[in-house]
Amino acid sequence: MSLLRALGRRRHLDDAAFSELWSAAAAGSDAAVATPDAEHLESCAACQARYDAFTDWLADARVDAIAAADEVFPSERLAAQQSHIMRRLEALERPARVIAFPKYAQPVSSTRSGPQRWIAAAAAAGLIVGLGAGELLDLRRGPRLRPTMSEPEAVTQTARGNVQPVSLNSDDALLYDADLSPRVEALQALDALTPRVRDVEQPR
Amino acid sequence: MTGAHAAGVAPREADSASASAVKAMQAEGRHPEARERYADLVARHQRRASRIAFHYLRDGAEADEAVQDAFVKAYTHLSSFREELPFEVWFTRILINGCLDRIKARTRRERWLVSAPEPAPGQSDFTDRVAGGGPSPEDQVLARERRQKLASALSRLPDRQRSVFMLSHYEGCTSREVSALTGLNESTVRVHLFRAIRRLRTLLTDDGSARQATITGGKRRVLT
């Protein structure tokens, strides 16, 4: 027996050695069986007890981890999850559809009948042609209809013809008219008490 | 560790056969039948998938979404499934990649956002905890504390070590399966497993929780 092996047998195993032994055993490796640590473990009761506690700790960790996950995913949640998955798979196979704008009750259909399309296209084309033709006609007639005089002159003449000169007498006449004939009978009594324009102007 | 899966060879072959059948139905355009058959596969694998996703993400809602996405993705990419590979391994790889993507996205988000304190995973209403006929509130509190410490220690492991530990120890995968799932060499898987356990042990011992005695189900158990 080599010195190293003898030393290995004498010294107690630590957690690193346990980890190595456990992971080798877990991986199904036969190499772990022949190591000095494995031999020591077989012969040392204290190390065996500690190794048992170590494996218990790992087993507890596994149980705890699985329990934590199962607590989050009870059977009801798994059932809901399955139905979600199946719904998503079903939706994958359905073709995409255009969703109608909420204002309209019926969904927007992208497949109109042929005649409808032609009618709509003809109407749009007719409108465009009509507008274009109208513009062209306007362009042709335009020069003949233009006035011969210059623009400022025309504006001045038009203004002179339409607007009458304002006379100050017309305001007084309007007020006299208003004074002479109160049109609302209900106000006639009140009107009688009110001084008239002519009464006010007499002292002048 | 692998004992739980030793008897699972036949179901695995059945799963692969089911997946191949679904693939054939998809190719023939028999989609309703394909979906119906795929629903069986979903039912068989969703608990395990949810568990794996939860161990990665530590968030129930996000794990739920990750599992849904993985099943939908597996269904839509079933044409690339090779029969010689177990469906479980192929699907778990899709799931793990999805979880890792989510972790990356979350890390990016958290760089910009300050997250609000969240309740512990699986924490329910106080009345539910007290009124239930299960373990006593004290046991529940202790168990939750222990789980939180373990989860916290696990989250401090490097990604590869954590993946290898979870798949090997929690899910009972062999080192060959873990190698297929993670793309790591088998001997690298063993090294990562050993390092993960050693590190976990150190973290929990430093934390003082590994050396505490706990009372579970009326039986006193010393963790170390």
What confidence category does residue B213 fall into, taking pLDDT thresholds of 50, 70 and 90?
very low
User: What is the percent of chain A where pLDDT is above 70?
Assistant: 64
Tell me the three state secondary structure of residue B1: coil
Query: Do residues B214 and B142 make contact, with C-beta atoms less than 8 angstroms apart?
Result: yes
Q: What is the pLDDT of residue B50?
A: 95
Closest CA relative to residue A58, chosen from B48, B70, B196, B80: B196
Query: Taking 70 as the threshold, does the pLDDT of residue A29 lie above it?
Result: no
Q: Dihedral, CA atoms, B171, B172, B175, B180, nearest 10 degrees? A: -40
Which chain A residues are closer than 8 Å to B175 by Cβ? Answer: 26-28
User: What is the percent of chain B where pLDDT is above 90?
Assistant: 20
Chain A contact present for B51, CB below 8 A: yes
Position with higher pLDDT, A195 vs B57: B57
* Adjacent-strand bridge partners of B216: B219
Number of other CB atoms surrounding residue B186 within 10 Å? 16
* Nearest Cβ partner for B46 among A62, A78, A90: A78
Q: What is the pLDDT of residue A201?
A: 60
Domains: count for chain A: 1
Domain boundaries, chain B: 7-118, 128-224
Position with higher pLDDT, A10 vs B224: A10
The C-alpha atoms of residue B224 and residue B206 are separated, in whole angstroms, by: 13
Residue of A nearest to B43 (CA): A82
What confidence category does residue B143 fall into, taking pLDDT thresholds of 50, 70 and 90?
confident
Chain A contact present for B42, CB below 8 A: yes
Over residues A149-167, the mean pLDDT reads 53
Question: Do A65 and B55 count as a contact with CB atoms less than 8 A apart?
Answer: yes
Chain A contact present for B142, CB below 8 A: no
Residue of B nearest to A52 (CA): B224
SS3 track for chain A: CCHHHHHHHHCCCCHHHHHHHHHHHHCCCCHHHHCHHHHHHHHCHHHHHHHHHHHHHHHHHHHHHHHHHHHHCCHHHHHHHHHHHHHHHHHHHCCCCCCCCCCCCCCCCCCCCHHHHHHHHHHHHHHHHHHHHHHHHHHHHHHHHCCCCCHHHHHHHHHHHHCCCCCCHHHHHHHHHHHHCCCCHHHHHHHHHCCCHHHHHCCC
Give per-residue pLDDT as tens, A63-103: 888 888 888 999 999 999 999 999 999 888 777 777 777 76
Question: Do A72 and B76 count as a contact with CB atoms less than 8 A apart?
Answer: no
The C-alpha atoms of residue B220 and residue B142 are separated, in whole angstroms, by: 13
Number of other CB atoms surrounding residue A77 within 10 Å? 14
| Residue at A147 is within a domain | no
Q: What is the pLDDT of residue B4?
A: 42
The C-alpha atoms of residue B165 and residue A98 are separated, in whole angstroms, by: 48
| DSSP output for B165-191 | HIIIIIS---HHHHHHHH---HHHHHH
Question: Do B47 and A29 count as a contact with CB atoms less than 8 A apart?
Answer: no
Query: Do residues B22 and B78 make contact, with C-beta atoms less than 8 angstroms apart?
Result: yes
Query: Taking 70 as the threshold, does the pLDDT of residue B9 lie above it?
Result: no
Query: Taking 90 as the threshold, does the pLDDT of residue B46 lie above it?
Result: yes
Contact residues, B window 84-103, toward A, CB-based 8 Å cutoff: none
> In sequence order, what are the residues at sequence separation of 6 or more whose Cβ sits closer than 8 angstroms to the Cβ of residue A94?
none
Over residues A131-148, the mean pLDDT reads 71
Tell me the three state secondary structure of residue A112: coil
Residue A181 is encoded by which pair of tokens? 């004939």
Q: What is the pLDDT of residue B206?
A: 65
Q: What is the pLDDT of residue A11?
A: 76
Q: What is the pLDDT of residue B52?
A: 92
The C-alpha atoms of residue B22 and residue B38 are separated, in whole angstroms, by: 6
Residue A144 is encoded by which pair of tokens? 């003949």
B7-118: what fold? Answer: Rna Polymerase Sigma Factor; Chain: A (1.10.1740)
Contact residues, B window 147-186, toward A, CB-based 8 Å cutoff: 147, 150-151, 154, 166, 168-170, 174-175, 186
The dihedral built from the CA positions of residue B50, B55, B61 and B67, taken in this order, carries a sign that is: negative
* Nearest Cβ partner for B150 among A16, A54, A61: A61
> In sequence order, what are the residues at sequence separation of 6 or more whose Cβ sits closer than 8 angstroms to the Cβ of residue A47?
A12, A13, A40, A41
Domain B128-224 has CATH 1.10.10.10: yes
Give per-residue pLDDT as tens, B99-135: 999 998 988 887 776 655 555 544 444 444 445 556 6
| Residue at A187 is within a domain | no
Question: Do A65 and B150 count as a contact with CB atoms less than 8 A apart?
Answer: yes
Mutate to test the interface with B, among A72, A84, A87 (most CBs of B within 10 A): A72
Query: Taking 90 as the threshold, does the pLDDT of residue B47 lie above it?
Result: yes
In angstroms, the separation between the Cα of residue B149 and the nearest Cα of chain A is 10
What type of residue sits at position B140? Q
Q: What is the gyration radius of the CA atoms in chain A, in angstroms?
A: 54
Position with higher pLDDT, B129 vs A21: A21
The dihedral built from the CA positions of residue B102, B103, B106 and B111, taken in this order, carries a sign that is: negative
Question: Do B68 and A29 count as a contact with CB atoms less than 8 A apart?
Answer: no
Which chain B residues are closer than 8 Å to A57 by Cβ? Answer: 201, 210, 223-224
Question: Do A72 and B122 count as a contact with CB atoms less than 8 A apart?
Answer: yes
> In sequence order, what are the residues at sequence separation of 6 or more whose Cβ sits closer than 8 angstroms to the Cβ of residue B100?
B56, B159
The range of the structural domain enclosing residue A37 comes to 3-76
Q: What is the pLDDT of residue A122?
A: 94
Averaged confidence pLDDT in chain A: 74
Closest CA relative to residue B21, chosen from B35, B3, B4, B5: B35
In the A/B pair of chains, how many CB contacts fall below 8 A?
Answer: 129
Mutate to test the interface with B, among A13, A23, A52, A70 (most CBs of B within 10 A): A23
Please state whether A23 falls in left (phi above 0), alpha (psi between -120 and 50) or beta. Answer: alpha
Query: Do residues B209 and B154 make contact, with C-beta atoms less than 8 angstroms apart?
Result: no
Over residues B62-84, the mean pLDDT reads 91
Chain B contact present for A198, CB below 8 A: no
In angstroms, the separation between the Cα of residue A73 and the nearest Cα of chain B is 7
